Amino acid sequence: MATGEITGEGRSGGDQDLATGEAVTATGRLSIARRVRPEGPHLPFSTGQLARLDEALTLSSRSTGLEFAVYLGDLGEQTRETAGELHANLGARAAEGVLLAVSPQQRAVEIVTGEESKRRVPDRSCQLALMTMVASFKEGEMIEGLLSALRMLADAAGTQR
């Protein structure tokens, strides 16, 4: 904490020229306090992109009867096992679940299907969706890759039975 008097010495017009948070110290030095606001977390998607992703997830789930989900974040050293654990978090819907797990920092992508969804979405379709995501990600188009993969997997699953 500093002490000093607020004076108008060396500045024309006196105290009224000082802005909020400014003071002239006893030595004549101008002391300025500024409010610094920390930057918020950097989100990978804009609000519009999140809306598109939400719509794609909703439409895919409604049309197929399967539970589609996307995870974006660190998958740890054992990416497949972590993705499996995340898929299990779908709870009662895990059997019908299809999880797209993406870890951009690790450059890892996993698609996990449940018992029922595996019957309707074959491994070949998952492989093609994965290749589509990777190609889009290489071009810097993460949202487009996810949307394309969701469409491909929903098409492979067909309509709700």
Render pLDDT for 24-68 as a digit per residue (tens, 0 to 9). 888 888 888 888 887 777 778 888 999 999 999 999 999 999 999
Q: What is the mean pLDDT of the chain?
A: 87
pLDDT tens, residue by residue, 76-101: 999 999 999 999 999 999 999 999 99
Is the Cα dihedral 133, 114, 79, 105 positive or negative?
Answer: positive
Q: Which CATH architecture describes the domain 47-157?
A: Roll (3.10)
| CATH 3.10.310.50 domain locations along the chain | 47-157
- Report how far apart, in Å, the C-alpha atoms of 154 and of each of 42, 52, 157 are: 30, 16, 5
**Prediction pTM value:** 0.72
